[in-house]
Structure 1
Amino acid sequence: MSDLNSLTVLVAGATSTSGEVMARALTGAGARVVAVGRSDDKLAALREAVPGTVTFTADLASEDDVASLTERVHAEVGPIDALVHLVGGWRGGGGLAGQSEADYRFLENSFTALRFVSRAFDADLQASSRGRVAVVSSTALKRPLAGGANYAAVKAATEAWTRALAHGFTKAARDEGRDLSGAAVIYRVKGLDGLEESLADAVVTAFAGDAADVNDQIIDLTGSQA
C-alpha cells in the first residue's frame, strides 16, 4: 500500500462514483480526505461510505464560494497538500452547428472550478513537502471531433492550466535551490465508467512517489503515455 500518511487531499467534485472510489483509495493509503461537492445528501452518503472523510458543500464554479471554502477548510482542517480535480460532465453531438453556447458554458464550469480552486489553495500546495495536483482530461484531445468541439476545447484549456501548475512547482524549486517537491499530473480517459479504480490507484501512486517522475506528465489510462 502506498504511504500517504500526513497528507491532506482535497477532492473537488467528490459526489460521483469516481469521487467515492478516490476517497476510499486515498483514505486506505493513509491520507486525510477533504471532499467537496454541491449536494449535502451525496456528501453525507460519502461520509458514511468512507469513514473519516471531511466534507464541505460549495459551488466550485463560484469564486465567492471557493473563497469561503478556503477559509472553512483552513479553519477546520488546516492547509491541504494535494488536489484531485474530478469536476466534469459531458454535452456534445450535432457537429459544429450543434455546439451550443449553453452546452459550452456548462462544460466550462469544470475548467472554471479548477482555476478557482488551484489559485485559492496555491500557497498550500507550494508550501507542502509533497504538493500534488491530479486532473482528469480526455483522450478526445488526440483527435477532436466536430460533435465534441466544446468538450475538447474545455479539456485543452484544463490541460494547459495544469501544465502551468507543473511549471509553477518547477520554478519554485529552481528559484529556491532545492529538489522538486510538487507535481501536477494529467490523466486522460475516454470515459471514467470502469476506470474509477485505475484512476484512483494511479493518483495514489503519483502522490506517494517522486515528484520528478510525474510532474508535467500526461498519462493515458487507456494504455499509452502522451
Structure 2
Amino acid sequence: MHTLHGWTALVTGASSGIGEACALSLSQAGARLVLVGRREDRLRTLASKLAVPAHPLVLDVRSRPEVEAALASLPAEFAAVDLLVNNAGLALGTDAAHEASLDDWETMIDTNCKGLVYLTHALLPGMVRRNRGHIVNLGSVAATYPYPGGNIYGATKAFLHQFSQNLKADLVGTRVRVTDVQPGMVETEFSQVRFRGDAQRASKLYEGMEPLTAADIADVVQWCVTRPAHVNINAVELMPADQAFGPFAVKRR
C-alpha cells in the first residue's frame, strides 16, 4: 500500500455522489485535488471541506475545446495530474430502444464515452512521460448484464470497459495503471437524473433493499489506487447484497 501524498488527482463529476465521495476519500489519502463539474457553488463548497489544496474547475466534459483549454490553464501546482478518476456520466430514461429519444442517446454517448476519452487523451501523455499515474474509470455492471431500457447506457459502459482494457494493453511495462470500477445499484442523484428529477420514482427503485452508497464506491477506488506500484487492479465488480443476476427473459405465447 502507498499513500497519495505528493499526487494530484483530478475527479470529474465531483459536485455530487460518487465523484464527491471519491474526492473526500482521496484527499484523506493525501492527494491534492482538481474538482471538475458543472456546478461551481458545489465544487467550491467541497473544496472548502478538504484538508488538502483543491482547485475547482467548472467544465462540461462533453466539450472537447472546453476540456483542452481548461486543462491547459491549470495552475502549476495542479498541472501534473497523476490520478484521473473519470466519474462523470449519466443514464437518461428507460424507454425501449424503438421508443427512446435520440437526443438522450447522444447525451449519454457524449458524456460517458467522449468525455472520458477527452480527459484521458489530454492527461495520459504526462503520466507516461513521468512514468507514474493511474486512470480509474467508473463503469457499471450494465456493461456486462443487459436489462430492458438499458440499451445505450449499457453500451457506453461496455465501451468504457473495453477502452480500459485496451489502455492497459498499451501501457504494459509503464507504471501507469488502469482500473474499471463496475458498481451495481448505488443510491445517489443518478436515478433522479435518469427519471428527469422525479425523486419519488427514483427512491422507489431502492425501496425495500439496501443499495450501495457513494462512500462504498469511493472506498473501493481508494483501495485500487493505493496498492503497491507493481499491482494493477484491472476491474472490480461490486453489487449490494440485495442485488444479483436476473434470469433470462422468455416471452411465453
TM-score (norm: length of structure 2):
0.78
Paired AA for residue 237 in structure 2:
D
For 2:130 and 2:227, how far apart are their aligned partners in 1? 14
Q: In structure 2, how many angstroms separate the alpha carbons of the residues matched to 1:45 and 1:113?
A: 24
Which residue does the alignment assign to 1:27?
27
Structure 1 residue 70, shift from structure 2 partner: 1.6
Q: 1:211 to 1:100 in 2, by over 3 A?
A: farther
Ranges in structure 1 where 5+ consecutive residues have no aligned partner: 174-179
Other-structure match for 2:137? 135
Distance 1:129 1:11 in 2: 20
Q: CA deviation at 1:140?
A: 1.7
Q: Secondary structure at the match of 2:79?
A: coil
Q: Give the alignment of 1:20-59 within 5 angstroms.
A: 20-51=20-51, 52-59=53-60
Is 1:183–2:184 an aligned residue pair?
no
Corresponding residue number in structure 2 for 1:113: 115
Q: Which amino acid aligns with 1:197?
A: A
CA distance in 2 between counterparts of 1:35 and 1:18 reads 12
SS in 2 for 1:214: coil
**In the alignment, what sits opposite 1:156?**
158
Q: For 1:29-108, list aligned pairs within 5 A.
A: 29-51=29-51, 52-73=53-74, 75=76, 77-108=78-109
SS of residue paired to 1:114:
helix
Residue 204 of structure 2 corresponds to which residue in structure 1?
A: none
Give the match's secondary structure for 1:55. strand
Contact preservation (8 Å) 1:137, 1:188:
yes
Q: What displacement does 1:214 show?
A: 2.4
Q: 1:53 to 1:191 in 2, by over 3 A?
A: farther
Which digits, 9 at most, give the CA deviation of each residue in 1:93-146, with x for residues without a partner?
A: 232223321111121122111000000111122134431011111112222123
Larger Rg: 2
Name the count of aligned residue pairs: 215
Cα shift at 1:39: 1.6
**1:4 counterpart SS class:** coil
Aligned-pair identity in percent equals: 25
Structure 1 residues 203-212 or 147-156, which shifts more? Answer: 203-212
The unaligned stretches of length 5 or more in structure 2 are 188-211, 242-253
CA distance in 2, matches of 1:136, 1:15: 15
Measure, in 2, the Cα distance between the counterparts of 1:35 and 1:47: 8
Distance 1:20 1:94 in 2: 29
Alignment RMSD, CA only? 2.1
Q: Tell me the distance in 2 between the aligned counterparts of 1:133 and 1:148.
A: 25
Q: CA separation of 1:73/1:164 partners in 2, compared to 1, >3 Å: closer, same or farther?
A: farther
- Partner residue, 1:176: none
Structure 2 matches for 1:164-203, cutoff 5 A?
164-170=166-172, 173=173, 180-193=174-187, 194-203=212-221
Distance in 2 of aligned mates of 1:42 and 1:147? 31
2:223 matched residue in structure 1:
205
Partner-residue secondary structure (3-state), 1:183: strand
- Partner Cα separation in structure 2 for residue 35 and residue 29 of structure 1: 16
Q: Is residue 111–residue 154 contact of structure 1 (8 Å, CA) maintained in 2?
A: yes
Q: Which residue identity lines up with residue 213 of structure 1 in the other structure?
A: V
